[in-house]
Amino acid sequence: MSRVLPAPAPTAGPLWIDSDSATGTDRVRGVLRRHASGVAVITAGASAPVGLCVTSLAAVSFDPAVVSFAINVRSTSWPTIETAESVLAHLLGDWQEDLARRFGRSGTPKFAPPTRWQHDEAGLPTLHGVLAWLVLAPIARIPVDNHVLILGRVIRAATGDEAGGPLIHHGGRYTSLTAR
């Protein structure tokens, strides 16, 4: 028999703050910095490749295989991803912080050297040397304020030849699970 525990009571001080206020947004950001996230780069676009770095990639279901990620509608990648029949999620290794930063900045030439990439057989921009890839067919695009949550059915998955751990985002910075 499971028990439902009551929510913790508010304590003295600014622990419970309206998340819609500026102070609340900072509080939520501070709380979520304590949560570690894997780092991925999402690419799309056969004729004009686009890409962005995300820490929101998450498994939704394994049967069928569905993952999700979020994108800001102000992202320059959004118009391409909004209509893409497929996108490619690249899981980054702990040696790829520079790649994460390049794809995390707007206005930078993401596919220019030193980025190593090519079009795969389906025309998707594919980054070289990553831990793994997931080709996703978007099945839902759900508006959430100024973002869109993309649900994508996994239509292809592969691991790379590179050995190493995943690139992790925690505490507002990139880190690794492996000791250096």
* Domain extent for 60: 38-174
Please give the chain's pLDDT, 180 residues, in tens.
Answer: 556 666 655 554 445 555 566 566 777 777 777 778 899 999 999 889 999 999 999 999 999 999 999 999 999 999 999 999 999 999 999 999 999 999 999 888 999 999 999 999 889 999 999 999 999 999 999 999 999 999 999 999 999 887 789 999 988 888 888 755
Is 16 within a domain?
A: no
155 assigned to some structural domain: yes
For residue 1, being part of any structural domain is answered with: no
Instruction: Give the chain's end-to-end CA distance (angstroms, integer).
Output: 45
pTM of the model: 0.84
- Residue 24, in any domain of the structure: no
Number of domains in the chain: 1
Strands (E) located in the chain: 37-38, 40-44, 50-54, 58-62, 65-72, 87-91, 117-119, 125-127, 132-144, 147-159, 167-170, 173-176
Strands 87-91 and 37-38: unpaired
Q: Which two tokens stand for residue 142?
A: 């759900």
Q: Is residue 6 part of a domain?
A: no
Q: Are 58 and 89 in contact (CB under 8 A)?
A: no
Tell me the CATH number at 115: 2.30.110.10
CA distance 132 to 90: 6
